Amino acid sequence: MKPPKLKKIDEKKYVRPQLERGYAGQTLHIDIMKTNGRKIEIEPVTEQMKQIFTGGKGFDLCMLWNILRPFKKWNRIGWGYTINAICVASGPLGGFTTCPGAGKSIVTAISPLTGSVMDSNVGGHFGPFLKFSGFDSLCVEGKSKKKIVIFIDGKTETIQVLEATNLPKDAYKTSKILTEHFGEGKSRDI
């Protein structure tokens, strides 16, 4: 198998905020469907968002609603529409080791099969690492014509969108290769 190739197609520098009461205070939105480059936006978390849409699922639904609001019926999104998004958030307790389930994140999108809002509860390091990188939630909108990798580096405060070729189809192998590539010998931090 050929070694994977990662070509940077977009990059954005940002300032990682201090966590305050479990919130980083900003969300990350990446539109991977833009034809002339990707669009990376950092948006503030409002007090209304904290009060009404508390937690990972609430943040996901708020972001999904803001993207899909121009379309009157969510149940028609999955049938032939190119607009959709996948949102990931962990809530204000994400990453706090004294709380059970603090490594959990919620992933939300519109099902392309049913047109319904679907979510999944996932464990692991992604949610806490996203939070410690400075974001309460991540929203990836659209569908890229090529394989891409989004790399959020909280240490250098950089977000990169990379075009990926020669990655294996197996998710575990892909994860291992990307961890080795970005970890630079310190895979524990990826």
Tens digit of each residue's pLDDT (9 = 90 or more) over 138-183: 999 888 888 999 999 999 999 999 999 989 989 889 888 888 888 8
Give residue limits of the domains in the chain: 5-189
Asked if pLDDT for residue 35 goes beyond 80, the answer is: no
Asked if pLDDT for residue 189 goes beyond 80, the answer is: no
Which pLDDT belongs to residue 186?
75
CATH superfamily to which 5-189 belongs: Aldehyde ferredoxin oxidoreductase, N-terminal domain (3.60.9.10)
Average pLDDT over the chain reads 84
Tens digit of each residue's pLDDT (9 = 90 or more) over 106-130: 999 988 777 788 899 988 888 889 9
The pair phi, psi for residue 128, each rounded to 5°, is: -60, -40
Amino acid code (one letter) for 85 = A
Instruction: Give the pLDDT band (50/70/90) at residue 81.
Output: low
pTM of the predicted protein model: 0.86
Distance CA 41, CA 81 (A): 23
The pair phi, psi for residue 78, each rounded to 5°, is: -70, -20
